[in-house]
Amino acid sequence: MKIMEFTTQALAQSCADAIDALAVQYWTDQGRTVQDGTLVSWNAATLADDASAPRTLRWATPELSPEGTWWFTSLVGTDYEPAMAGLREAHIFTERDMPAWGSDP
Amino acid sequence: MSGLSLSLGVGLTRRGGGGGAGIPSIASAVYWGDFSDTSKVSLSSGKITGLANRLGGALTFSQGNSSLQPTYQLASEGNGINGLNTCRFTSATQKLQLNTAVMTNATIIIALRNTANLVSGGIIQSSTDNFAGLFIAAGAGSNQPAGTSDNFVDGVDIANSRQGTLEALTSSPVLWMVRNLDITTWGQSSIGITELFLGAFRNNSTDFAFTGGDMGEIVVMNASSVAEQNALGAYLSEKWGTATWTDVS
């Protein structure tokens, strides 16, 4: 699994916010129901939108790594991967496989 | 449910599941989530956003971050367990989160399968870097908080060690149970634990490992009786096709 890694929380949050803005447009283009910037889920039985069910709120919440960097899961390998090119131009981050941080707690 | 084949919508079929035993009444249950019950599952493009409590109420395992949502496994596509739909955790940070009441004597039972054959992971974890059901090959330490808590697989008491848990979690589905869990002290926090994470565990305040497998059903009980544990174990083992439940005492 690839991660996007940032030197500061502000840089990470700025990029995460940009991804969320792109996602809203993507969902809208896909004909999905977006309310208040969040994606409405559907019920697995009826396949109908369920406004009362938990929603998709964002792509990710930046987390502090043991190395002092801020990171979240990369878009590589997801439906949103085409957005990576634009993100690489507009934001400062590195990409790498997720390290085995603290693999034996 | 024996032999039932019921179409529930496009690509969604609930079928299989062993036995004809009825659902037992578990008075101590506070949360009961069943991924095979499509009416309780909410989705977003094949990813699970929530699993509602079949007992009713607002208590729900959920995940609002798209990057952390696990996938829904459809029995109609040859996935799942014993002909039933499941939840699959396949990425290092995928997890579902339950905002729960603090319990001093919790019992948690989960039908699961270690599909990734991982040698490191966690089944369920608190919001403050503690865990239960941690498994690591030859790892030191216990697999859950010290105290009177104990854990079982298919009703058989297993060693409270990471290696013991790893050996018990095979590619065949099992019923894993932890009981006598004091969640108020689980995270070594004076405020107790208010969140449970399913499918991932945290260390150094960051997500990094996971169960790497399928989960079918999870029941969280508070101050459950042995009779309830055995009734639930018998019911779930038949439903999910795990080894015959050995009554605990």
Alpha-carbon distance A14 to B212, whole Å? 31
**pLDDT confidence of residue B45:** 85
Contact (CB<8Å) B12/A45: yes
How many Cβ atoms sit within 10 Å of the Cβ of residue B35? Answer: 27
Q: Give the mean pLDDT of A29-49.
A: 94
Q: Give the mean pLDDT of B97-124.
A: 74
Contact (CB<8Å) A53/B42: yes
Distance from CA of A1 to the nearest CA of B (A): 7
In chain B, what percentage of residues exceed pLDDT 90?
37
Alpha-carbon distance B211 to B199, whole Å? 5
Write down the residue that tokens 């169960």 correspond to.
B211
Higher pLDDT, B133 or B205: B133
Looking at beta carbons, which residues of chain A come within 8 Å of B42?
Answer: 41-44, 50, 53-54
Domain B90-240 class in CATH? mainly beta
Q: Is B212 exposed, middle or buried (0-12, 13-18, 19+ CB in 10 A)?
A: buried
pLDDT band for A14, please (50, 70, 90 cuts). Answer: very high
Domain boundaries of chain B, sorted by first residue: 90-240
| Average pLDDT over all residues of chain B | 76
Residue B112: pLDDT over 50? yes
A86 belongs to a structural domain = yes
Total domains present in chain A: 1
Beta-bridged to residue A56, according to DSSP, are: A39
Contact (CB<8Å) B66/A23: yes
Q: Give the mean pLDDT of B11-26.
A: 60
Alpha-carbon distance B183 to B132, whole Å? 11
pLDDT band for B165, please (50, 70, 90 cuts). Answer: confident
Task: Give CA separation, B213 vs B13, B87, B203, B224, B244, in Å.
Answer: 21, 8, 20, 27, 21
H or E, element range at A14: helix A9-29
Cβ-nearest to A56 among B12, B66, B120: B66
- pLDDT, tens digit, 9 for 90 and up, residues B208-230: 555 568 889 999 898 999 999 99
Cβ-nearest to A44 among B38, B64, B120: B38
pLDDT band for B18, please (50, 70, 90 cuts). Answer: low
Q: Is the pTM of this model over 0.95?
A: no
**Interface size between A and B, measured as CB pairs under 8 A:** 116
Contact (CB<8Å) A43/B41: yes
A45 belongs to a structural domain = yes
Residue A37: pLDDT over 70? yes
The identity of residue B153, as a single letter, is V
Beta-bridged to residue B132, according to DSSP, are: B124
The identity of residue B134, as a single letter, is L
Domain that holds residue A65: 2-97
A103 belongs to a structural domain = no
pLDDT band for B4, please (50, 70, 90 cuts). Answer: very low
Looking at beta carbons, which residues of chain B come within 8 Å of A47?
Answer: 9-10, 12
Distance from CA of A89 to the nearest CA of B (A): 22
**pLDDT confidence of residue B171:** 82
Looking at beta carbons, which residues of chain A come within 8 Å of B120?
Answer: 103-104
